[in-house]
């Protein structure tokens, strides 16, 4: 990691923390809405990231397992809930997608664990599910009668952020082992990963400020 990437990485974490603070400032106004769970989500993710960054100084643990089995599944399942359960009002879709994602850990552990092509099958599969939900959300927003007020739709900013970060970096994490052989390409994509993450959390912050009227 070069100095620029180190700066982006540190900024990423503090932007996450700043977003959690912005979200908490809006907790009182959203305490009767399901968006309060998005606030809790942002706070928990920041804490998880802080543990991942500094926790190793106090306790010994595998960061790879920590993210693969705790942090990332938590994020995916929350977004499945936010999209399928809440935005689309489809409980069956949420449980079905969550089950499919959890089942993806089986082939990930038994067939792709030593793969030098696909970095993490369950992450790839989870991102693919999220990509489908993102496309469905865009379609919902585009066909909405209230499309003219898209800038007041909190879900618009969330969806855009998820698109840039999770969907935009899907090829990077899927073909990580292949890309690492081409250092220049890897560095460009890693820069994008960090920058898109920062932009995503900025968009999450904006969603609380500009998107509050149509939540």
Phi/psi-derived region of residue 29, left when phi > 0, alpha when psi is between -120 and 50, beta in every other case:
alpha
Q: Where are the alpha helices (DSSP H) in 143-175?
A: 154-162, 170-174
Span of 128-132, 200-204, 211-215 with lowest mean pLDDT: 211-215
pLDDT reported for residue 113: 66
Phi/psi-derived region of residue 63, left when phi > 0, alpha when psi is between -120 and 50, beta in every other case:
alpha
Say which DSSP state 57 is in.
Answer: G
CA dist., res. 8 & res. 99, Å (int): 35
Closest to 68 (Cα-Cα) out of 9, 10, 125: 125
H or E stretch including 199?
Answer: helix 183-209
3 state DSSP class of 175: coil
Phi/psi-derived region of residue 89, left when phi > 0, alpha when psi is between -120 and 50, beta in every other case:
left
Residue-averaged pLDDT of the chain: 90
pLDDT reported for residue 175: 84
Residue 119 pLDDT class (50, 70, 90 cuts): low
For 134-169, the pLDDT digits (tens) are 999 999 999 988 778 777 899 999 999 999 999 999
CA dist., res. 172 & res. 165, Å (int): 11
3 state DSSP class of 63: helix
| Angle made by CA atoms 125, 106, 174, in degrees to the nearest 5 | 30
CA distances from 123 to 55, 157, 174, 186 (A): 23, 23, 8, 18
**Terminal-to-terminal C-alpha distance of the chain:** 39
Residue 29's Cβ-side half-sphere holds a number of Cα atoms within 13 Å equal to 12
pTM, two decimals, is 0.91
pLDDT over 90 (residue 177)? no
For 19-70, the pLDDT digits (tens) are 999 999 999 889 889 999 999 999 999 999 999 988 877 788 888 889 999 9
CA dist., res. 153 & res. 141, Å (int): 9
Residue 159's Cβ-side half-sphere holds a number of Cα atoms within 13 Å equal to 22
């Amino acid at each position: 990691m070069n100095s620029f990437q180190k700066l982006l990485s540190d900024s990423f974490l503090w932007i996450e923390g700043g977003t959690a603070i912005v979200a908490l400032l809006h907790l009182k106004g959203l305490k009767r809405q399901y968006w309060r769970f998005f606030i809790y989500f942002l706070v928990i993710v920041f804490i998880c990231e802080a543990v991942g960054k500094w926790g190793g100084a106090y306790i010994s643990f595998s960061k790879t397992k920590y993210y693969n089995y705790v942090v990332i599944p938590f994020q995916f399942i929350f977004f499945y809930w936010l999209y399928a359960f809440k935005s689309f009002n489809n409980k069956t879709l949420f449980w079905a997608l969550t089950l499919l994602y959890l089942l993806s850990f089986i082939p990930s552990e038994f067939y792709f664990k030593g793969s030098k092509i696909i970095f993490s099958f369950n992450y790839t599969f989870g991102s693919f599910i999220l990509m489908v939900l993102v496309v469905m959300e865009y379609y919902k927003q585009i066909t909405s009668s209230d499309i003219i007020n898209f800038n007041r739709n909190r879900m618009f900013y969330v969806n855009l952020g998820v698109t840039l970060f999770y969907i935009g970096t899907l090829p990077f994490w899927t073909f990580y082992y292949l890309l690492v052989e081409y250092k220049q390409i890897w560095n460009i994509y890693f820069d994008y990963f960090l920058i898109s993450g920062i932009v995503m959390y900025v968009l999450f912050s904006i969603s609380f400020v500009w998107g509050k009227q149509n939540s």
